[in-house]
Chain A
Amino acid sequence: MDELQLLRSFGKNVADPSVDALSRGRRGLVEHIGLQPAIAKPNSKKRFAFFGGTTALAAGALVATLVFTDVLGLAGWRGGADAAAASALSDAAAAAIENSDPVVGPGQYLKIDTEAVFTGGVQTAEWEHFAYLGTQDSQMYIPADDADDWVLVTEPRAAIKVFGEGFEEEAQESARAGFEEEQISRAPYGSFDNSKPRDWRLDDLPRDPQQLLNYIYRVTAGHGVSADGQAFDFISTTLRTGVVPAELRAALYLAAAGIPGVEITDEAATLNGRTGVAFGREEKDGFLHEIIIDPETGLLIGERTVQLFDSKMDLVFAGEVVGWTAVTTTVVDAAPAGGSLCGNGGEPVNGFGSGQCSDPNRPRTD
């Protein structure tokens, strides 16, 4: 018996986790996930440490209250976006407010058309790695009344760029697997895939830009690579839902103007045929994250991520756009018919729970 076999035999007899521990862990995860649909939940311990310094400067209940209501916070203490970016974001915010949102009348739908490209990767049977850019396009129809069916159309996928010679066929296969055909799902309250009712919790967000940015720093504290990067990511993730009303969009632009490191990274960035100004922030992990805004209308065109280093495992080199999302929001009179309930034939996704999305009385809140 060599040392490895010995070591393995030592580890061999470990039992599986108890059913109790397994379900406890799962419950914890599901609860954790449920607490944060689009918004990261703050880690209470880290948040405490985070604000420990601030409150110590002027201890007292008043300051604590001001922090908690986001009147005071991290925003503005360490500067903000560079001057040109801040000024352009402020113009975009003004444009957003001038161009009011379309109104969804009774029987109509808000249609969110999302064209997304992501980097997928495959390891072949011969241990070779390659990466590809794959599409992930969808349209979501949100009814005027949340209790009516929401409709999600998922387009067939395809690989549009392959990093690595001779892998074109495998890339297409990988991109299409499970998404060969258009799929239509419907679910009241947007509970697709048996998820909880779709709620972006936009009402929780302060409309004052300074308070909004404090709020964002507070709820994202302790997450991500850096506090500023995570705050920018929050803004980008919220915007790309396509459901953000004009006044909140304007506040988010102004909040972005308060984040150090944000600058104009492309004066004429084209995404999906539309051209706008890219505001980006370079993160320590080697990615440039950008939001692209149409300066005329203040509408978000989309977001994209640029890799700034050469990958070790595949042929993705610095400067490559490794993902983007273009979002268009319109009001339409009808949504496609047919499709499966819950996006899953009404069956629970993981074998837990039961057809929740078919229950019209399911509460919206967690």
Chain B
Amino acid sequence: MGELLQLIVSGTAAGAIYALAALGFTLLWQASGTINFAQGEFVMVPAFIMLFCMSAGAPLWLAFLATCVIAMLLLGVLFKRIVVDPLIRHGVIPLVIASLGLSIGLKQLMRAGYSAQAFPFPSPFPSGHFAIAGAAISYADVGTLLFAAIIVLGLQAFLERTVTGRAMQAVAQNTDAARVLGIDVRRMVLYTFLINAVLAVVAALLVTPAYLAKFDMGDSIGPKAFFAAIIGGFNQTRGALLGGVLIGVLENVVGFYVSPAYKEGVALILFLVVILVRPEGLLGKAEERKV
């Protein structure tokens, strides 16, 4: 019993990180129809920027804040201006291909230009465990969960309580109607890219202490972000959260009770089951086909 609780808590913490990456992925899709296959690399790049900042002497919190700003420029504004804007008119596929190219480019640039090694990354939370009902719960897991929860609740509050947030939701739901209502669609889409960049930095901060900073760390996080988004429902923000946590917990349970070797396969199996049984995702609404 104790160990199951332990697995669920640490799985939820891991899942919360997947959910952050998935959330950014879903927001981009809703607002601009962008499927970003480089989402995993969007987590890897901030991890290294934070490391560079820290090697320049900055404490972790300062490195985190500086990286948020750099990522907003690099992965938010530049990504949108250079890659997304020219391609989005041509439909989904060219952008998917470009993001695949970007994924290879960023990964190999880090490998060739910097290092192929894995670098340790300091945890923002204290080490150690405490015991509840026979389960050893680590402070890092609790801290990760709390931090992710604050970010997600903050984002939800922004999207639902502020005028800008509601305008962004309007753009996501119906771009044309939003434009008719006088919403600056381009600006709202840009905000979405900025939010995606920040979510990626947060995911990097939380995941890198466990995964280590490595040029190919996105290979594992990226696919889980896509699967979490689809499992939960591609057109629902809450879906990304549910999908992420579900993958995190099931991975842990399967890894412990079935086989640690196949932990990485859990997301795919869950994805296949969900699209067979409930194609629109667990929380998603069926979309009408656009002709």
Query: Does B associate with A?
Result: no
